[in-house]
Amino acid sequence: MIRLYLVRHGQTYFEPDQRLKGQLDVRLDLTGREQARAVANHLHSSRVDAVYASTLRRTREGADVISELTGAPLLVSPLIDERGWGQRQGLASYEMAIEQAAGRVATDGFGPMGEPADEFARRAQLFLDLVAERSGQTVVAVTHGGILKNLVLPAIGRAPTDRGAYTQDTGAISLLEYDGSAWRPAFLNMKPK
């Protein structure tokens, strides 16, 4: 059995305006750093064999604390980077609504120079394949909301295109388990205290 703890990075300075972060390298705010510490404290007593983070600072800030408290090595992987939203990155939700109303947003939302949904889903699957090779281990992945949808939706029997079927809060943990044939959720979207 492989256990994969999925952690969504803590809150950033972009959350209050509901800005689309994508692959912009945004830092955690004070609340986000507190959320990262709460996750690390929750996982402190667990046996953890590896902690993965995306290449973006907001995940590494939390992953560093988890790695330090659990003693597990920190591994950085672009496979779990957030989706690249191209020229839409940095826009607030009201600005995205203006773009959509003007017909300047593709049907799946990504803007010019963005990452197509099928390539994004393929990256998530490559990460699951990588973790599936860690027989009997417990892995933590500190990552992003978009990649979490691609990792969790198939495990709950939903298509990756069914984006509204699952959302994970900032600073929350989900646990997927792999029995050698399928990934299944043990729990989803749990916020440590």
Domain boundaries, the chain: 2-82+116-190
Q: What is the pLDDT of residue 157?
A: 94
Q: Is 131 helix (H, G, I), strand (E, B) or coil?
A: helix
Regions of the chain where pLDDT drops below 50: none
Q: Which of 68, 80, 69, 78 is nearest to 9 (CA)?
A: 80
Q: What is the pLDDT of residues 95-123, one digit of tens each?
A: 888 877 887 766 555 566 678 888 999 99
CATH number for domain 2-82+116-190, candidates 3.40.50.620, 3.30.70.1400, 3.40.50.1240, 3.40.50.970: 3.40.50.1240
* Distant-in-sequence, close-in-space partners of 100: CB < 8 Å, separation ≥ 6: none
pTM score, two decimals?
0.91
* Residue 17: per-residue pLDDT: 78
Q: Are 164 and 149 in contact (CB under 8 A)?
A: no
pLDDT at 37: 95
Strands of 183-190's sheet in order across: 74-76, 50-53, 138-143, 2-8, 173-178, 183-190
Distance CA 92, CA 180 (A): 41
Residue 48: the pLDDT is 97
Tokens matching residue 162: 């069914």
Q: Is the dihedral of CA 89, 158, 32, 49 positive or negative?
A: negative
**What integer pLDDT is reported at residue 109 of this predicted model?**
54
